[in-house]
Structures are given as C-alpha cells and as structure tokens.
Structure 1
Amino acid sequence: MTLFTIQLLNGLQLGLLLFLVASGLTLVFGILDFVNLAHASLYMLGAFICASFTLWLGNFVWGVLLALPVTALVGLVVERVVARPLYARDHLDQVLATFGLILVIDTAAQLIWGPAGIAVPLPDWLEGQVQIGAVTLPSFRLLIIGAGLMAAAGLFWLVNYTRLGMLIRAGASNRTMVSALGIDIQSLFALVFALGATLAGLAGMLIAPITEASIGMGNSVIITAFVVIIVGGIGSMKGAFIAALMIGLIDTLGRSFLDDIFKLVMSTEAAETSAPAISAMLIYIIMAAVLAFKPSGLFPPKVR
C-alpha cells in the first residue's frame, strides 16, 4: 500500500506536468488551428532559462519567476516570426516549419548553454521530505503537484471567467465574426501562443531540478502531450486536464504493477519480459481506442 501511494502521487505529478504542456498545445492547436511541433522546444527553453537565472541568483523560486516572462517573450517572437505567416497554410507546411524550428532552437541552445545538461540546485527547504502517515515524500514533488493544480485552476478561471477568456472562446468559435466586431484577432492569437509557451516553459522549469535541463529534453514529452490532447479532445481544457491525469496515472502505475498482475496468469519470466513492453504501449492503446470509438475525444469542446 505504501508503494502504491507513492506511485499514485508520482502518477499525479506526471499527469500535472503533462497537463501544463498539453494545455498550451491544445490552446494553440485547438484555437489557432496551428500544429506546433516546436512546443517541446519551448519546454526545453523554459528549463534552460530557469537554470541560468537560478545559478546567477542562487534562488530557484526567483529563477522561475524571472524565467516565466522571458519564456512568454520567446513565445511572442516565435509566433510573430514563424507561426503567424503560416496560419493560412495547411498543416503539412506548419509541421515542416516547426520541425525545422526544433533543429534551430536545439542548435541555438547548444551554442548558448553547451552540449552538457545543467543541474538546477534547489533551496534547502525544498530538498527535505514530508512524512504523511507511513509514506515519506520529497518536498519538491509535492510542490510540483501544488503548482500544477494552481496553474490548472488559474487557467480554468482565465478561460471561463475573464474577458480575455471570452475573447479566446469567441475566436475559437468564429474568428471572422470576432474580427468584424473590432477585436484585433492577431494580437489575441499572439497572447494565446505566448500563454501556451509559458505553460510549456513552466513544466520544463518544474522538472529541471529532477532531470536537469538538457538538449532535446522535450522531444519525448511532446509525443505524450499529443496523445493527451487527442484522448481529451483537441481544444478542450477539461479534456486536457482529465486525460493528462489519466495518462500519467496509467503510465506510472502500469510500469510499477503490470508485471505483478501478469504473474497471476503467466510465468514469472514471461511476465517480467512482456510487462515492460505492454506498459510502454498502454497510453497508445488507449489513444487508438479513443480514435476508434470517439474520434473527437472524450471531452470535445462545445464549439466543435
């Protein structure tokens, strides 16, 4: 039970990090209709920028606070230079352009920070552990869970209860009508793109002290983030949140306990051989099932 509780919290942590990446991706993909493969590079840049500020200032919290607006600014530049000219083009052009942008950003990061990763030091108060009953948990992992929940709540409030959120929903529903009413749709889309970049960067900042900031660190994350938005429904914040938690928990618990389940019906050797392969495929099996039975996702947005 102790191991299950620890893995449950690890799955929750992974799910919330996936939500931060997938929420920005589903905003850009679902509202701007722009396929941004370079979203993973913004995740990586957030980690590197936070690492630099943390090393300069000697404080991780200040590093995150200063890195967030810088990451948003990078997102604005990417939107203006790369994304905006491609909004009217088809998805293949967008995929090719953003794939090329991944190579450019990876090379630029290597020139600026070097090929080796950067370890991000934590303050003493985040390096301790918290005792919850019989379970001992690292303080920083609880901070990640808390930050992810706060970001999710803030994004829900922004999209549903603010004027900016109203404009975002209206732009997603009918951008031509919004433009006709005098709203600067290009500025609105730039803000959405910058918000998505900030959320991806925040995920990179939170994971950097655990895995360190490294070149290409977002390449595997972006694949899982696409799985999340497909399962949840493209353009749906609710879908991204529920699907991210579901994918995070299934992936973590599957890697931990699937071999024990298989041992109930097959030999130990066969279970230990097959379980890792099947656990790695679980999230893709779920995605295939959703595409087969509900192609619009489990929680598609109402405007679609």
Structure 2
Amino acid sequence: MSIILLIEQALNGLQFGVMLFLMAAGLTLIFGVMGLINLAHGSLYMVGAFAAAATAAATGSFLLALVASLVFAAFAGVIVETVVIRRLYDRDHLDQVLATFALVLMFSEGTRWAFGSFPLFLDKPEWLSGTVMLPFGIEYSLYRLTIILVGLAVAAGLFWMIARTRIGIRIRAGENDREMIAALGVNISMLYTLVFALGAALAGFAGALIGAIQSVQVGMGEPVLILAFVVIVIGGIGSIKGAFVGAILVGMTDTLGRQLLPMFFGLFMEPAAATSTGASLASMAIYLLMAGVLLFRPKGLFGGA
C-alpha cells in the first residue's frame, strides 16, 4: 500500500470516527447524566436521516435537510423523553432495556409505514461534490472532508458548552449528584429533557451526514448504535473526551484494519483466503480493541476522570 493510499484510508477512518462521536456523545451524556440505557438512540439517528432525505426531496436544499435532521430528531427526543423515558429513571436497567427496545420496534414500523420499505437517497449538493487536492498530492472527497471539519467543529462546540457554560455546569453537576442540584433549585426534569434532546439532535445530525454516503433505510441506526456502545465503553461512560478518543480509535481501527489485514495475510496465503481471513479479523478488531482497553482500564480510558 502506498503512503498516499494509507493517508486516504486514515482520513476515511477519521471521518468514520467523527460520525461515531456525534452518535456516541449523546449516548454517553444520556447515560452519564440520567443513568439510562437507551437502545432507541439508533432510531433517533434514523429519524434524522429520513427527515433530511424527505426535506431535501421536497425543497432541494441540503442545508435545510441538515436543519430538519436536527429539529425532527430533537423533537422526537423530547416526545420520547417526556412520554416514556421519564417513567424509567427510577426503574432498573432491565426495564429500561425492554422499554427502549420496544421504542426501537415502534420507530422502525412507524418509519416503514410513513416512508415505505424501500431506501431513500440523499444527494450531495454540487458544491460539496467532487474532490479536493490536499498536501502531498492527496486527492480526497470534498464531502468526506467536510464531514470531518463539521464534526470536529461540533465536538469543539460541545466541549466548550460542557466546560464553560452554565448549562454545561448543570449537566456535569447532574452527572455527579442529581439530588443536590435538585435541592439547589435546578429543574431536574427540564435538564433531563434538554440533555435527551441534545443527544437526539446529535444522533439525527450524524444520520443526515452519513445519509449522503449510504442509503437511508429502516433499521440503519442499529449497527451504528452497537459501535457507539463500543465507543463509550472504550472511552469511559459519561466522558465526552472519552467518547471522542474512543470514536477516533474505533474509526481508525475499523477502517485501517479492513485495508491492512488482508494485505498482511496476503504475504503468506492465497489472495482469496487472505481477503476472507483479513476481512473476518478486521470485523473483530474493534472488539479486540475494547477487550484490550478494559483489561488495563476497566472503567474505560477516561472513566471516572
């Protein structure tokens, strides 16, 4: 593999990691602040993707599609939190798993009823199509580069909000001692709704961004949800910094593993066998990474930090 191709694949891994961070950030906030296991988070990713695809088809505007993904996912998050999730905070995790799994089924069937079983397609705008020339003669997709830059900007804004703003202080306080901030007069129900809506909006935004790369279809959020859980386990539950580092590690490991492992096995195996073995091990690489991190850091890289 040439150095240029390796750098291109590393950029693909960074793009994948940034997308996973948008998904995992909301999930880790929800679990860290509320102590809630939310299996329906992937459905909010799907809602954002479908809202973006439908808005783009109706208006022809990609920017309006992105705004729609944020608004509809956040609105769906508020409805879910106030109608269902609010009744689960004092229940054990098994009840939360069962209730949010039921929400997954409801979202899937509701989306299939509204949009049908066939996938939708979200076209990239012309001004984000094509490639851009990077240093060292690297030609890279302009849209994927835009995802990286937008994702990093969102991550920076999220870090700033958590660390520097009043609402960020309340979120961190709610994560550490929710009873105390409630006693100090903070409306804990409003805080929970806000956190859930923020997490839903981030997931929906990720779904809209990736919807222009792959098809938008029912059930698209569940595989990403599994990876998001891997990310927050690696990074540490409740840690935004951990979610970011974990997402980049998972994105790089998955993308580079799928390219490098078949090449490695190709040195001493037949090409077909090398490709099959390398692909199989590459699909396991992120879980081996998670096991390795937990072996030395049972709470994740930044758990409890």
**TM-score range relative to shorter protein:** over 0.9
**Counterpart pick for 1:31 among 27, 30, 33:** 33
Contact 1:12 1:249 in 2 (8 A): yes
1:301 offset after TM fit, Å? Answer: 3.4
**Counterpart pick for 2:169 among 166, 177, 182:** 166
Counting only pairs closer than 5 Å after superposition, residues 171-182 of structure 1 correspond to structure 2 as 171-182=174-185
Contact 2:233 2:300 in 1 (8 A): yes
What does residue 254 of structure 2 align with? 251
1:263 offset after TM fit, Å? Answer: 3.5
**Counterpart pick for 1:96 among 92, 95, 98:** 98
What does residue 268 of structure 1 align with? 270
SS in 2 for 1:99: helix
Q: Distance in 2 between matches of 1:294 and 1:57?
A: 49
Q: Distance in 2 between matches of 1:96 and 1:215?
A: 20
Q: Distance in 2 between matches of 1:273 and 1:211?
A: 23
Contact 2:47 2:69 in 1 (8 A): no
**Counterpart pick for 1:122 among 121, 124, 144:** 124
Q: How many residues align?
A: 301
Q: Distance in 2 between matches of 1:3 and 1:281?
A: 23
**Counterpart pick for 1:221 among 221, 224, 233:** 224
SS in 1 for 2:213: helix
1:212 offset after TM fit, Å? Answer: 2.0
Q: Distance in 2 between matches of 1:125 and 1:45?
A: 25
1:227 offset after TM fit, Å? Answer: 0.4
What does residue 41 of structure 1 align with? 43
Deviations 1:63-102 (A, max 9, x none): 1123312221111001111111000000000000111110
In the superposition, the TM-score normalised over structure 2's length comes to 0.96
Residue 230 of structure 1 pairs with residue 246 of structure 2: no
In the superposition, the TM-score normalised over structure 1's length comes to 0.96
**Counterpart pick for 1:242 among 234, 245, 265:** 245
Contact 2:47 2:72 in 1 (8 A): no
Residue 156 of structure 1 pairs with residue 159 of structure 2: yes
Q: Distance in 2 between matches of 1:14 and 1:241?
A: 12
Contact 1:17 1:203 in 2 (8 A): yes
**Counterpart pick for 1:72 among 71, 74, 91:** 74
1:251 offset after TM fit, Å? Answer: 0.5
SS in 1 for 2:248: helix
Q: Distance in 2 between matches of 1:216 and 1:253?
A: 26
1:291 offset after TM fit, Å? Answer: 2.3
1:27 offset after TM fit, Å? Answer: 0.4
Unmatched segments (≥5 aa) in structure 1 = none
Q: Calculate percent identity across the aligned residue pairs.
A: 48
SS in 1 for 2:110: helix
More deviation in 61-70 or 203-212? Answer: 61-70
SS in 1 for 2:243: helix
**Counterpart pick for 2:139 among 136, 139, 142:** 136
Q: Distance in 2 between matches of 1:224 and 1:261?
A: 25
Counting only pairs closer than 5 Å after superposition, residues 185-200 of structure 1 correspond to structure 2 as 185-200=188-203
Q: Distance in 2 between matches of 1:273 and 1:107?
A: 35
